[in-house]
Amino acid sequence: MNEYLPGLAGVPATKSNISSIDGEKGVLAYRGYDIRDLAENSTFEETSLLLLDGALPTQSELDDFDQQLRGERRVKYNVREIMKYLPSSGSPMEMLQTAVASLGMFYGGEEILTDGYEEEDLYYIHAMSVKIISRMATIVAMWEHVRNGYDPVEPRTDLTHAENFLYMLKGHEPDPVEARIMDACLVLHAEHTINASTFAAMVCGSTLASPFLVIAAAIGTLAGPLHGGANQRVVEMLDEIGRPENVKDWLDMKLADKEVVWGMGHREYKTKDPRAIFLQKMMVEYAEKKGNLSPMFETALALEEACEKELGSKGVYPNVDYYSGILYTEMGIPADQFTPIFAVSRIAGWMAHWREQLKDNRIFRPTQIYTGYDFRDYVPIDKR
């Protein structure tokens, strides 16, 4: 194939049985299970094991995996010390990439990768998946306290993954409704085929690099506003609009200037993102519990309606970023922590693709279409 397709749009990069998308019908499935069923009925722990192993676990398998995750929540004090010396005003995603990459130095010496997927590889891959999935949440929660000058909250083993994350993040036991929302958000964001950050993980993994470096590569890719950073931009956009009555004039101006409406449109979906549908449903339920719709949510609903009139014919509808940031804002989570929370979830999919890549590994080496000079003679510097 010699045709150049910018962004590798539509070019198959691998074979995978982890997740699938039907963009026309607006369906996302993990291992064949509709994301709406999983978000409604599953947990992040169960969904993670489904993504890693390929099947819904038995109760004993899930209990064992859950206990493994709970037992790996702590990180060595060296990691905390590194975090203390990072600028408090710095990007949480840059902190996360730094901290995750450093884990390999403190938990190294266990690497067993034969490039042949032997039995010892499976044990190593599973062990590393548990360690990194569990500690990703710990590091993100720790940073919220460290950057404000406080010692981090110690993790607890008597809480679920979502409950413990919110407990460490806020310093108190979470409201059960908020814990349920967080758990569902983690399920919804856990996997989404070969997106940019997953592809980065696969490329790095194909070199047999340490899994900590594999995930650091994925984190760096997720950080961009065209990928994981969009939900923060949505909240900033809604703050800029202010009120529902301002929507029409704001949208007309943006469309006239051909500017981005954050959270609208997706390369895979020609209809509303199924994850956005579920997030909107949770936002309504949360608003009913609180007794009122927030101004931000009201503005978002008005903007979605206006965008559907102007852009619906082009297949532009809300994506997962549109409502996730609003939910996190309502739960009192700082906007710059939205993308790190994305990583807390997506780590399950990244580890699943890392495992799948190693099973039939071949290092990625795409080609290019050269557009430079023909061969030229070197000219000495005194004759240029």
Q: Which residues contact 23 (CB under 8 A, 6 or more apart)?
A: 266, 268, 269, 270, 271
The closest alpha carbon to 297, from 234, 227, 232, belongs to 234
Name the range with the highest mean pLDDT among 31-45, 219-233, 293-307: 31-45
Looking at the predicted structure, is the pLDDT value of residue 278 above 60?
Answer: yes
* pTM of the complete model beyond 0.85: yes
Percent of the chain with pLDDT over 90: 72
The mean per-residue pLDDT over the stretch 30-39 comes to 96
pLDDT at 239: 93
Looking at the predicted structure, is the pLDDT value of residue 54 above 90?
Answer: yes
Q: Are 174 and 190 in contact (CB under 8 A)?
A: no
Rg (CA), the chain: 22
pLDDT at 235: 92
Q: Is the dihedral of CA 284, 288, 290, 292 positive or negative?
A: positive
pLDDT at 288: 87
Who wins on pLDDT, 113 or 135? 135
Looking at the predicted structure, is the pLDDT value of residue 234 above 70?
Answer: yes
- Please state, in angstroms and rounded to a whole number, the distance separating the CA atoms of residues 24 and 274: 11
- What is the SS3 assignment for 20? strand
Confidence of residue 220 (pLDDT cuts 50, 70, 90): very high
pLDDT at 268: 82
pLDDT at 117: 62
Instruction: Quote the mean pLDDT of the chain.
Output: 92
pLDDT at 238: 94
- Please state, in angstroms and rounded to a whole number, the distance separating the CA atoms of residues 60 and 44: 16
pLDDT at 95: 97
Confidence of residue 230 (pLDDT cuts 50, 70, 90): confident
Q: Are 301 and 244 in contact (CB under 8 A)?
A: yes
pLDDT at 109: 55
pLDDT at 1: 56
pLDDT at 267: 79
Among the options 66, 183, 273, 321, which is catalytic? 321
Confidence of residue 118 (pLDDT cuts 50, 70, 90): low
pLDDT at 112: 59
- Please state, in angstroms and rounded to a whole number, the distance separating the CA atoms of residues 342 and 338: 6
Domains, the chain, with CATH or none: 19-223+345-359 (1.10.580.10), 230-330 (1.10.230.10)
Per-residue pLDDT tens digits for 81-106: 999 999 999 999 999 999 999 998 88
The mean per-residue pLDDT over the stretch 233-253 comes to 93
pLDDT at 155: 97
pLDDT at 121: 79
- Please state, in angstroms and rounded to a whole number, the distance separating the CA atoms of residues 202 and 142: 28
Residue 24 per-residue DSSP state: T
Q: Which residues contact 250 (CB under 8 A, 6 or more apart)?
A: 240, 241
HEC sequence for 346-371: HHHHHHHHHHHHHHCCCCCCCCCCCC
Give the CA distances from residue 18 to residues 49, 51, 64, 132, in Å, rounded to whole numbers and listed in that order.
12, 6, 22, 19
Among the options 161, 189, 266, 353, which is catalytic? 266
Per-residue pLDDT tens digits for 280-339: 999 999 988 888 878 899 999 999 999 999 888 888 898 888 889 889 999 999 999 999
The mean per-residue pLDDT over the stretch 141-167 comes to 97
The mean per-residue pLDDT over the stretch 178-197 comes to 95
Per-residue pLDDT tens digits for 14-25: 999 999 999 889
Residue 246 per-residue DSSP state: G
The least confident of 52-56, 189-193, 365-369 is 365-369
Residue 262 C-alpha from the chain's centroid? 17
321 assigned to active site: yes
Confidence of residue 226 (pLDDT cuts 50, 70, 90): confident
